[in-house]
Structures are given as C-alpha cells and as structure tokens.
Amino acid sequence: MFNSRSKRRNDCFHREAKSHFCRKINLRKKSFLLSKGLFSTFKESLTVKILVLVKEIIDTNSKIVFNKQKKLDESQVKWVVNLYDEYALEEAIRIKEQFGGEVVIYSVGNDRTKDTLNYIMSMGADRAVLIKSELTDAKSVSEILAKQIREKDADFDLILAGWIGIDWNRGQVPGRVSSVLEVPFVNVVIDIDINGKIVTCEKEGESSNEIIDVQLPALITVQRGINEPRYPSVLSIMDNTEKKIEIVDNIDQSTTKKAIIKIEPEKNRKKTYMINESDPELAVKMLMKKMIADKVM
C-alpha cells in the first residue's frame, strides 16, 4: 500500500541529506578559496539583500471579545507575527548565513506593531521598515509596500513572504507586490536554492513536486515545511535594542476603495427543518421555500 506520510518523510530526509551535502561542498570550496586568498572576493560577489514581508495578526489562541459598541476589544487579544511569515524570515536568515548580505523586514501596521517587530528582529534581521497605516485591503497594502521598497531598497535581490495570512486567508499581497515591482513571482514554495542570479524553487504537488528556476530579483512565498523557525535567545532580544526600525507615517490613507465597516460575532444560524411530505420532489421545494423565507439561501 502506498504510504504518503512515509513518502513525505523520505522526501524530507533526502532534502536534508542533499542540503547537508551541499553545505559540505560549500565549506570545502570556502576552505580552498581561503587558502588561495580569494574568499573575500568570492563572498562579496554572492551577498544577497533580502526583504521579508511580515504581517501582524491576532493570535489564533486568543479569545475574541466584542465591546458594547460591537467592536473588537483589542486589549483582550494577543498580537503575533503571521506563522507563514516566520518561515519566510527564517529562510531569509539562513540564506544570509550562507552567502552574507542583509535581511530587512517590511510591515504595514500601527504603533503596536513595533513591539512585534522588535521581537522577531532578534531572530537575525538587520533592520525593519514599519509603514504606519490603517488600510487593510490587499490592493492598498501592496501598493504601499511596493512604493516604499522602490524608495528605500530598490536594489533588493529577493523578497520572501508567507504564502497566506492565517487571519483573513486571502494570500493576495505578495502576488500584487511582485506585479507592481515587475519581478518574477513563485508561490507556495518548500525549498529554495540560490546559484548566482538564478534561484531554484521547489513546489509540492499532490503526485509530484515541481521545480522552477527564476532569475533574481524575484518574490517568493513559502509554506510550512521549508524550515523550522528559530526562537530568539534572551541575549539576542536584549541586543536587539540597537537594531533600527524605521517608521514611515506620511502615508496617504485616502487611496483605498475598500474598508471594513464592522466586525461582529457570527450569529448562530443553526436551524432544523421538519418537512412532513412523502414525495421527495415536493419535499425539496417545501424545504427551499422555508430556507429562502428565513434568508438561509
């Protein structure tokens, strides 16, 4: 019997073995270049500037409470980094550790978001750009991000992001950003391998995996399984106080064409309908009539 779990385990093992083998080759190459006095030039030519798109969301374990005005009581919830963005940041740090370079976080949020960025920067990012805005629709957020990236870090090599936000489950922003910046876009990746200006991406399929080569600069989204994000140490959190978070607060808030009017608890719409009719066709018609009357359909 075919065991997909066993296959996935074996695939993971082979990926780890391949990664370990590549690291050994890189170390040998590095040793050779050091002995020839060439490593500094070699490393300098491979440094990578990576931007990571990060979103702050409500912790899924938080209890959602609404006040008397039927608005979300934010004091009762915990705010964290979107899980898939953590995978993106971890991958960026690993690439930086391999090639050298810089990791820069980009996030759209408010004053509260700075605390979240302070924490995740201690994972190994070099700096962050916090764009203060209350806009939440994907079009506006992506345009804001792309504009700031063009102004501040137009020389980027790679942009990484989680493939979806686990709050609204939209997954639109990364693709829209790549479109505005006019760079290649690869979605839902489980492995990244950089060779010069070419990045090889692996996407997981139902029956087989897909390998895609794109030229840098590019934007890639990652999913669970690409790595295991590290936890910041106490020392790294303490040292993080000197890392720079640039605040951008002169954003035009009138660009959006979409707004959230209100958020309210879901109404309990469960209802049982009893249809006393032996004719199936007539019973269906009666049921539909009742459901339409109750605005269920």
d(CA 199, CA 157): 10
Report the pLDDT value the prediction gives residue 263, as an integer from 0 to 100. 63
CB atoms within 10 A of CB 200: 15
d(CA 146, CA 76): 33
Q: Residue 44 above 80 pLDDT?
A: no
Report the pLDDT value the prediction gives residue 128, as an integer from 0 to 100. 95
Q: Residue 28 above 60 pLDDT?
A: no
* No. of helices (H) and no. of strands (E), the chain: 8, 12
Report the pLDDT value the prediction gives residue 105, as an integer from 0 to 100. 97
Q: Are 96 and 50 contacting, i.e. CB atoms less than 8 angstroms apart? A: yes
Mean pLDDT of 216-229: 96
221 Cβ contact partners less than 8 Å away, ≥ 6 residues apart: 84, 88, 160, 161, 162, 163, 164, 171, 174, 186, 187, 188, 189
Superfamily (CATH) of domain 46-248? HUPs (3.40.50.620)
Domain segments of the chain as ranges: 1-44, 46-248, 266-297
d(CA 281, CA 277): 9
Q: Are 263 and 226 contacting, i.e. CB atoms less than 8 angstroms apart? A: no
- When pLDDT is cut at 50, 70 and 90, the band that residue 79 belongs to is confident
User: What is residue 286's three-state secondary structure?
Assistant: helix
| pLDDT single digits (tens) 84-138 | 999 999 999 999 999 999 999 999 999 889 888 988 888 999 999 999 998 888 9
DSSP 191-257: EEEEETTEEEEEE--SSS-EEEEEESSEEEEE-TTS--PPPPPHHHHHHGGGSEEEEE----TT--S
Report the pLDDT value the prediction gives residue 170, as an integer from 0 to 100. 83
In whole angstroms, what separates CA 245 from the centre of its chain? Answer: 19
Report the pLDDT value the prediction gives residue 169, as an integer from 0 to 100. 76
DSSP state of 36: T
| pLDDT single digits (tens) 164-211 | 988 877 889 999 999 999 999 999 999 999 999 999 999 988 889 999
DSSP 144-173: HHHHHHHHH-TT-SEEEEES--TTT----H
Report the pLDDT value the prediction gives residue 168, as an integer from 0 to 100. 76
Most confident of 24-33, 70-79, 199-208: 199-208
Mean pLDDT of 65-92: 85
Pick from 86, 139, 129, 127: which is nearest to 109 by CA? 129
Q: Residue 27 above 60 pLDDT?
A: no
Report the pLDDT value the prediction gives residue 273, as an integer from 0 to 100. 77
Report the pLDDT value the prediction gives residue 109, as an integer from 0 to 100. 92
| pLDDT single digits (tens) 226-275 | 999 998 877 777 776 656 899 998 877 666 666 666 666 666 666 777 88
